[in-house]
Amino acid sequence: MDKSKQSFHRRLPPIQPGDQIDYRNMSLISRFISEQGKILSRRENRLTLKQQRLITIAIKQARILSSLPFFLIMRNSLKEASRPLELLLLEP
């Protein structure tokens, strides 16, 4: 296919110019965290270096202030999910 005929689809930036990168902006911060609670890389986020630094600092501040957990506990088995919460807390 000729280069002039190829369609070029430009992706929208994940952070708009009016978005404020802050530890209180949980809707923005949660887009840059994986399901396990890890901070996604710059390549996955499509952020600039400065934006990635600000997002990382905001996530770490939110974790320290307990508005965001350090890690997410996920239950893999159905057996654990069907058991009462009291039994899960009592077991070592």
Number of independent structural domains in the chain: 1
- Domain containing 39 equals 26-65
Q: Does 11 map to a domain?
A: no
55: buried, middle or exposed (CB in 10 Å: 19+, 13-18, 0-12)?
buried
Predicted confidence (pLDDT) at residue 56 exceeds the cutoff of 90 = yes
The per-residue pLDDT for 77 is: 44
User: What average pLDDT is seen over the chain?
Assistant: 77
Predicted confidence (pLDDT) at residue 75 exceeds the cutoff of 60 = no
Confidence of residue 18 (pLDDT cuts 50, 70, 90): confident
Q: How far apart (Å, rounded) are the C-alpha atoms in residues 16 and 37?
A: 23
CATH number, position 50 = 4.10.640.10
| pLDDT above 70 coverage of the chain, percent | 66
